[in-house]
Structure 1
Amino acid sequence: MKQFDVVIIGAGIAGASIASEIGEDRSVLLLEAEDHPGYHSTGRSAAFWTESYGGPLVQPLTSASQSFLDNPPAAFSESAFLGPRGAVNIGRDDQQHLADQFLADFADSGLSMDRWSREQTISLVPDLKPIWEHAVYEPDCRDIDVAALHAAYLRDAKRKGVELVCRAPVSQIRKDDGGWELSAKGETYRATVLVNAAGAWADSVARLAGAKAIGIQPLIRNMVQIETDPPSSMDMPLVVGLDGSFYFKPEAGGGYWLSPHDEIPSEPADVAPDEMSVATAIDRFEKVVDVQVKRVSRKWAGLRSFAPDRLPVIGFDGAVENFFWFAGQGGFGIQTAPAAAKLARSVLLDQAPDESLQAVDASLYAASRFS
C-alpha cells in the first residue's frame, strides 16, 4: 500500500495544474481513469483566452493568469502559451442593448474594451452581413496553446516528483482516522488529503467519498471545423454573438472553428457531436458572414461542467475533513488554470496567496458555500 500526502483524482488541466503547484511541497499521486490525461474536456477546448469569457466574477482569475501564460518560468516552459487574436462581440441592428449591457458588466474591471462601428468591424470581418451593426472589440483576446500548457503542467509535476497513474478509475474510497484509502487499478493507496479534480465526474467522486454532491452539471458543447469559399484569414478575430448564440474563429489552412455555444445537459460520459447542433452551428454562422460552407472537415463535442452558480469550486469541503474540491471550471478552466491552481495551492497548503492573486476574492469560489 503506497502512502502519499495528497491524492488527486483527475489529470485534466485542473488536476495537472494543482499537482504542479504542490508537487515540491507534498508527496502527490495523480490518478487518471482514461488511457491518457486530458481526454475529455481539456483535449476538446476551443483554444482561446479572453478575459470577458465566463463573466465578471470569473474575469479576475483569467486576468491573473495572463502573466504566467505570456511569460512562464523558464523551468516550466521555454515559450509562451498565448498568441495574438483579438475578439469582436457583435449584435444585430436591434441588439444595441446587449452591447450596452456587455460594456456595463465590465465597466469597473479595467479590461480593454472599445465600442466599434460597423466600418471598424468589417475591417477585420470583411464578409460580415449588413444586419450586424453593433460591436464591442477586445484587443487583448488571445489564442492559447492548450495541449502545450497541459503537457507543461504534467511535465512540471513529474519533475517535482508527482506520480501519475493512468487507466486507473477509482472504484472505492474509504475514510478513517488516518486519512483516505482509495482502490484503483487493483492497487490500494492512502493519503491525508483527497483532491477532487474529476471534472464532469466531480459529484460522483464526492458521493464515493461520502461527501455531499453540490450539483456539478456537465453540459455538452459542440464544435465544428469547416472549409469555406472565400477562405478565412488568420488576421480575423474571434467573433462572438452578444446574445450568446455562437462564436467562431479562423484556423490555419483557411477554415473556421465554430460553435452554436450550446449547453446540453448530460451525464458524465465520452460525448459525441450532435448532428442537429452541428447543423445549427453552420446555420448561425451563415447568418453572420456571407461565405459559402464547402464542407465539414471535423466535428467534436466536449463537456463543460458548472456548479449551480457557474463559478469554480476551490477549497475544502465544509463537512468532510480533508476533502478538497477543485472542480466546476466550466468552459474557462484552461484560461484560468494558472491563477486557479495558485489559489488552490494557497488554500490547500494554508499559505499566503501568490502576488498575482491580489485582485481575486477567494471567498467567491470557496467550496464551503455549498455546505
Structure 2
Amino acid sequence: MPVRRLVPTQEAADLLDLTRELAREELAPRVVAAEAEACFPREVFRTLGKAGLLSLPYPEEFGGGAQPAVVHLQVLEELAAVWAGVAVGVSVHGMSCWALATAGTPEQQATLLPELLSGELLGAYCLSEPHAGSDAAAMRTRAVRDGEEYVLTGEKAWTTHGGQADSYTVMARTSADRSRGVSCFVVPAGSAGLSADRAESKMGLTASTTATMRFAGVRVAADRRVGAEGDGLPLALAALDAGRLGIAAVATGLAQGALDDAVAYAREREAFGVPVIEHQGLAFLLADMAAAVETARATYLSAARLKDAGQPYGQQAAIAKLVATDNAMRVTTDAVQVLGGYGYTSAYPVERYMREAKVMQIFEGTNQIQRMVISRELARGGRPTTTVTGSL
C-alpha cells in the first residue's frame, strides 16, 4: 500500500526517493540470507553512509545532512519496511553521534564526527548494564582519572554493533553521585582491554549483532571525554529521547512492511471463489492493521515536529515509542494470521516481522518504562502551549 507523505522540501522528497531505491536495490536482495545466517551487513552501512543516510539529523558543518526530524524519521521508516535490523542500526549509529554533535568541543567535532557521519566508521552506544537495564543511574562501569587518561573498568550489555563497531560512545561512573556522577567517553575499537563477548542469540534482528562489551582497564585519552565530568547521564537521557523516536519510526516501517505483505497475499489468495480480502472478517482485520500503522506514523511525526521546533518532546517521544511498538507487535501478529499456516513458515517474511517486532517493545526503554515517563509528566502538570513555526 503506497504511503502518502508530506515533506517540507523537494530535497526531502528526493531523499525519500533515494532511500526507497537503495532499500529496493541494496537491502531487499540481502535481507533474507543475512537474517537466516545471522550475518552482519557491514557493507550495507558503508553504502548508506556514502548516500548520506547516516548523517541526516546533524549539521552540514560536521558533514551532516541538516534534515529535520520529520524527514530523518521517515527515512528510517522506509528502510525498516524492507530491513528492520539495518534501520535499527542506522538509528543506533545516530545515537552514538548525539553527544559529540551536541556537547563535543569544536576540536572533537572536527576530528571525530566526519568519519562517523560519512559511514567510514560505525558507531555503537554503551549505556545498559547487566544489573541495571532500565536504571541507567545504577551503572557500575567506572572511569578513573590517571593523568591525561581515564581508565575504564566494567561491562556494557545489549550493545548494538558490539564487536563490529569502530567507535563506542560509553557512559561510565566518575563519582558516586547518582545523577551527576556519570561521564561520557568516545572509545575507539581496538583499544587495549576492550573486548566483545560472543554475540547474543536472539529470536529476531539476527543480522544485527548484539553483544556485551567488556572494559578491562581500557585507557582513554582525556580529550575523548565529551562534556564535563558528570554530564554523561543528561547526555544519555537526551540521546534516548531521540532514539525513542527512531525506534518508533522503525516499528512503524516494520508494521507497514507486514501490512503490505498481508494485503498482497489477501488480494491473490482465493477462498470460496473470491480473493480472501473480499471476505469481511479478513477485510476488517486488514483495515484495523492499516489504522494502527497510520496512528503510529501520525504519533511519531507529531513528536518530531515538537523536536524540530526546539520544544520539549520527551513525553511525546515516549508516547510515540509506546504506541508505535505496541501497534507493530499487533500488526505483525495479525499479518501472520492473514497468511494462515503459510504465515507460520519461513517461506514468507511475516513470521520474521513478528519476531522482530517483539524487541521493539523492549529496547530504548521497555514500554513499561515509557508508561512511567508519560505518567510522571502527567503528575507534573503544566499548561498547554502553542508555538508558531511557520511550517507543518
Q: Do the two structures share a fold, i.e. TM-score over 0.5?
A: no
Name the structure, 1 or 2, with higher relative contact order (CA <8 Å, separation 6+): 1
> Could you tell me the TM-score, scaled by structure 2's length?
0.26
> Could you tell me the TM-score, scaled by structure 1's length?
0.27
> Which has the larger share of strand?
1
> Which has the larger share of helix?
2
